[in-house]
Structure 1
């Protein structure tokens, strides 16, 4: 009498749900370790796993750095030294345009990777270009804001509050600028080399970085600008 196949199918389904990308210790339908996952006797993990893991560590370290700047701003918020406070700095229409540009760029960035998954070179490049242009608009508006504040004597050396403000917002602006340079590099690599596995992995990392910057900006918009305007 043969065994009923249902228990084996249920076990396979359980393994798929627990480890859909085969990154764990066991392969589907096998008791052995997954080749290239870095477990057991299969040797080192594949480059995709190593790069992804390392990039997540980088993102977490970056988030920790931003957390320190957020903490510094919270501590120095009232240290105006008799100078301007947050209400004197906030120009909500400009901040709203900055926020809209950056959030829209996150959407187009996601569309670019959808085109990458479809291996559509034209639309990948188009959406990456739009993402870069929206990022450029954001950086331009932020530079306008800093120049306007400086022209009115609101510089980082004026007070502890302004030091923390320029430090936090400026740090994010530098990140967006560097991300824009990375985006141009990726566009060139995609155009020349196509959708090689290593290029796709780099595009995945770029998408993660760009979306992380959007998340940080939401924190800045809420804590620095929005709460500052109503405080």
Structure 2
């Protein structure tokens, strides 16, 4: 039981235990990964309130992602090296390998203003590390009760021009230059970005900024995205040369 998960016992690499409340009739396999032992203890205590959890805890990053095969949920807890690129890299690896996996990220690296709704990558919930207990508990319950459907980035929701706008923005290109490259007006660029935020489930501009900053990692999660963008650029360049 979670009561046995003392700080001393968490010093081992991998721990397994079950947390069951009287009202629970089913189990959810949850993996907690973190380097901050006190933070892991806190998350385990919150999971005890929720109940119905078969818990697997890693106090270091697993070298073999096959250990996550039986898990429905992965919780990343205050990784000490969790700058956005590193943290997003771990998340994307899981997204790429397990499309139905739900993930909760509890990190101080998440930008201020980020909501704890579903995040911009794929079935990823985001909560700031300094969030209050009631917010953390709410996030845990959202993840545990979520429906097992593929995340928005694994569904073809964006048009070709919208993908181009997203990728060009990720390269740091200005709105005026994006309009010139795509052959559209400035207002149309803004309209496309609003549509991208809506279709991918990003609730505000903070989430969109985070999405843009990690666009290269997202391309790794969806290889076809990078190929489609490159193919479009090649065809566009060929048409331009033919006109000349």
User: Which TM class, normalised by the smaller chain length?
Assistant: under 0.3
Q: Please state which structure has a larger fraction of its residues in strand.
A: 2
> Quick check: which has more Rg, 1 or 2?
1
Q: Which has the higher contact order (CA 8 A, sep 6+)?
A: 1
Give the structure-1-normalised TM-score: 0.27
Using the size of structure 2 for normalisation, the TM-score is 0.26
More helix by share: 1
